[in-house]
Amino acid sequence: MSVFGNGALGRVVRSGVGRRRVQTLVIAVATMMAVASAVVAGSLMVAAAAPFDHAFGRQRGAHITAQFDPAKASAAQLAGTGNLDGVTASAGPYPSTAFRPVDRTGFQMPTLTLVGRSGPDGDVDRVELKSGRWAQKPGEIVLGASFEGPSFEIGSSLRTSDTANAPTLSIVGFAVSASRTADAWAVPEQVDALAAQGSPVTSQMLYRFDSAGTARQILADRAKLAAAVGPGAMLGTQSWLDTKRAADQGAAATVPFVMAFGVLGIVMSVIIVSSVISGAVGTSLRRIGILKAIGFTPREVVRAYVAQALIPAGAGIAVGVVLGNVLAVPLLSDTESVYGTVSLSVAWWVDIAVPAAALLVVALAALVPALRAGRLHTVEAIAVGRAPRTGRGQWAHRALGRLPLPRPVTYGLATPFTHPVRALAMLLAVAFGTVAATFAVGLTSSLSAVGSSQDPESRAAVTVTTVRLNSMAPPPPPPVAGEAPSPSPASSTATTSRPKVADPAKVRAAIKSVAGLKSYYGKLQTDVAVAGVSGSVQASLYEGDSRAGSYDMLSGHWITGRGQVVVPSRFLERTSTKVGDTVRLTYEKESADLRIVGETFDTSGNELEIHADMADFPSARPDTFLVDVDSGVSADEYAQKVAALVQPLGGDATTVPPADQKGVILIMDAMAVLLTLMLVSVAGLGVLNSVVLDTRERVHDLGVCKAIGMSPRQTVSLVLASVAAIGVIGGLLGVPVGYLLHRLVMPVMGRAVGTSMPASVIDVYGPGQLLLLGLGGVVLAMLGALVPASWAARTRTATALRTE
């Protein structure tokens, strides 16, 4: 007989699914939620493995990209480092410099790393030409493929700086380096020509090692190189591990919390499916006996009850796959890298593997109670089904009946002891629902704390700038990975609309002259070059006491004076440095060796933002002043007074708007809320299913109680009391587990994007929050029992007495 056919077994399956509408809905929703979260998690894990590994292997990418001081390490000495133990391949030395070119429209680009190479091939970092050809003579340049677009085409030109006598280079090709060893390439003679004009030049070496899979191995390899060339010769390094993380982290941060929800959903689905089928078997003993009496074999009975779980599960799985694909799109759209874009659709095998695994899990969860049904003897099943066993939980009724509570309440409190397995399933459903709610509250609070910590300027009351904020349209943003640079306005327009820039000294004097000033500091956000790191690095240079605008620190301390730099965790990993080491920074044509004194909490993605004292670069001037005012002083009035003084100079002053949450944080918040609502709904349906079974089994007893005077209100209190203790215990169990899950997942999310998490992001729960979340378990249980309680209260006495 076919389970889905028109035979007797098929009719039994369809009848069971149709009669148990609540149980059918519970299974469908539980599997839908589990599959949706599993599809999202699977798609993100695939995206997090995206094209980097293939591109890196194909190009024989560099495990370490190192920059050396040519005055302290000769070319022969550097070439000899390729023979060190553990080095499997090396390339170089190549001359390297940092420059800030100007495109044909007059827009000055970010600082780029230019490396002199005679060709794209080599033992390490075989650069892949995407279009055009390699530079063959001075005056030609090959740009990274991410710059290709309307503003940069083969044959177009750019100047090496904004000075009048800057040489012009012709773009002859676009290329990709999986190792990100440079932003642009030219022949070595071209780099030497820039050096003659004052651009600092370093020697670049590329290495592959036999052991470079962990940060510890990279540090050991770096130490080996540094020891081989002598003290001070190595200026900086770049690790392939950080490059890989930067390429993959678009999806990596979301994987841990989506996986946590997915595991919760799968466990809850197993519990609920087992509970539903077990309840169906327990309430259908007489029906099972009749089926066996008319010729059904034990195997057919087992198949019937497993099929009654698989049919609604199949519907839930189908909807879950669709929902998972929809939820994955906004997260996958953030996974672009310079090596290609990850498709905005879920991998086909994820849409096959997850439903198959879900069906297997549901079948196994339903199999245990179904086997119980198959093992029942025919006569015993009919006899027990007609006259259910009594006496279960009588001790609980006697003990709780002595409490000074209304009898309907004590009767309800004792009800769970009648069916301990069913009560345990209900308890686990409430506990997991509370876990999900507790975890979601902590997750959203932590994400909010992350957003606030990444915008320290919003703590100031007033922002004073040296340029009128509305004096001209904002300049085009610097190009990012995977996008062409935004077109700039025509050079003639840029010339006529160039804003008047106020003298920072006069702006500073204006700030001090207005009453109500509490403190202020100056800031310049600019691009610098860091020895060992390809491309520009965003730097914030500070004037004065900048502690009010400091980032959360993971180790060390904020900058307190000259010669210091504070960097994010990714910088330490990319450059294989640690707090206490020295790095060389170049601003314009001024270089300074600064000591790393602190590690900041920074989630700014691929960009590296470092912080230093402005005094280390004499030509730097602040373009922004962040001001705090005395208590009782209106920030708006203070800003208006300062604006009146600095606007004639070319500056401006405004109050600081509240910090906005970034798009990715909003997406993660929305995902957490949606998945939590799904989990809590499933938990509520699990409670509903159990209470419906209990109420139906006790409908005759309720009729007797109504006949001797129990009111509808007392009936409701009886049913609700039956889940009250379960709600309390479920809340007490769920809150600590959710709390621990949050403390486990948040550091994993941080490591996925290359940083640790500060205490301000981890310790987000307050005692009041935890208490309310614990009470949430009671509310969840009560809401789940409310519908069957209302049904029981409305049931007429005569109808209840006639029902068996």
Stretch 355-366: mean pLDDT: 86
User: Is residue 366 domain-shared with residue 378, that is, in the same domain?
Assistant: yes
Stretch 71-91: mean pLDDT: 92
pLDDT at 246: 66
pLDDT at 604: 66
Give the residue ranges of DSSP H helices in 333-475: 348-375, 378-386, 394-401, 407-414, 420-453
What's at 640, amino acid-wise? Q
User: Is residue 560 domain-shared with residue 438, that is, in the same domain?
Assistant: no
**Tens of pLDDT, residues 407-434:** 778 877 888 888 787 888 888 888 988 9
402 belongs to a structural domain: yes
- Measuring CA to CA, which residue among 374, 369, 304 is closest to residue 11? 304
User: Is residue 76 domain-shared with residue 218, that is, in the same domain?
Assistant: yes
636 belongs to a structural domain: yes
pLDDT at 470: 47
139 belongs to a structural domain: yes
Residue 487 to residues 223, 272, 299, 388, 637: CA-CA distances in angstroms? 44, 57, 71, 80, 39
pLDDT at 476: 41
45 belongs to a structural domain: yes
DSSP 8-state symbol, 121: -
491 belongs to a structural domain: no
User: Is residue 202 domain-shared with residue 69, that is, in the same domain?
Assistant: yes
Dihedral of CA 612/583/70/536: which sign?
negative
Mean pLDDT of the chain: 80
User: Is residue 384 domain-shared with residue 399, that is, in the same domain?
Assistant: no
Query: What's the chain's length in residues?
Result: 804
475 belongs to a structural domain: no
CA distance 762 to 209: 37
Please, are residues 632 and 563 in contact by the beta-carbon 8 Å criterion?
A: no
DSSP H or E segment with residue 789: helix 767-794
496 belongs to a structural domain: no
First to last CA, the chain: 31
Coil, strand, or helix at residue 348?
helix
DSSP 8-state symbol, 634: -
**Tens of pLDDT, residues 382-401:** 665 544 455 566 777 677 77
Question: Where does a domain end: 250, 282, 305?
Answer: 250
What's at 299, amino acid-wise? R
User: Is residue 94 domain-shared with residue 228, that is, in the same domain?
Assistant: yes
Range of the domain at 161: 62-250
682: its two tokens = 């499933």
User: Is residue 66 domain-shared with residue 199, that is, in the same domain?
Assistant: yes
Number of domains the chain contains: 4
User: Is residue 160 domain-shared with residue 241, that is, in the same domain?
Assistant: yes
11 belongs to a structural domain: yes
User: Is residue 385 domain-shared with residue 426, that is, in the same domain?
Assistant: no
- Measuring CA to CA, which residue among 120, 39, 78, 87 is closest to residue 233? 78
Q: Which of 98-102, 187-191, 306-310 has the largest mean confidence?
A: 187-191
767: its two tokens = 């005692």
Q: Which are the contacts of 263, defined by CB distance < 8 A and separation ≥ 6?
A: none
Stretch 117-138: mean pLDDT: 91
CA distance 193 to 400: 93
User: 453 pLDDT exceeds 80?
Assistant: no
Question: Where does a domain end: 655, 678, 704?
Answer: 655
Q: Residue 30, CB half-sphere, CA atoms under 13 Å: how many?
A: 39
**Three-state secondary structure readout of 172-217:** EEEEECCCCCCCEEECHHHHHHHHHCCCCEEEEEEEEECCCCCHHH
127: its two tokens = 């650069």
User: Is residue 82 domain-shared with residue 189, that is, in the same domain?
Assistant: yes
User: Is residue 243 domain-shared with residue 189, that is, in the same domain?
Assistant: yes
> Which has more confidence, 275 or 739?
739
**Percentage of residues in the chain with pLDDT exceeding 70?**
82
Stretch 364-375: mean pLDDT: 81
Question: Where does a domain end: 343, 363, 389?
Answer: 389
CA distance 527 to 232: 24
User: Is residue 145 domain-shared with residue 264, that is, in the same domain?
Assistant: no
Strand partners, 176: 128
DSSP for 484-516, please give it.
Answer: PPPPPPPHHHHHHTPPPBPPHHHHHHHHHHSTT
User: 350 pLDDT exceeds 80?
Assistant: yes
User: 449 pLDDT exceeds 70?
Assistant: yes
**Percentage of residues in the chain with pLDDT exceeding 90?**
22
CA distance 665 to 446: 10
> Which has more confidence, 252 or 724?
724
What's at 78, amino acid-wise? L
Of 164-178, 199-213, 329-343, 644-658, give the lowest mean pLDDT range.
329-343
Dihedral of CA 552/554/559/564: which sign?
negative
pLDDT at 542: 93
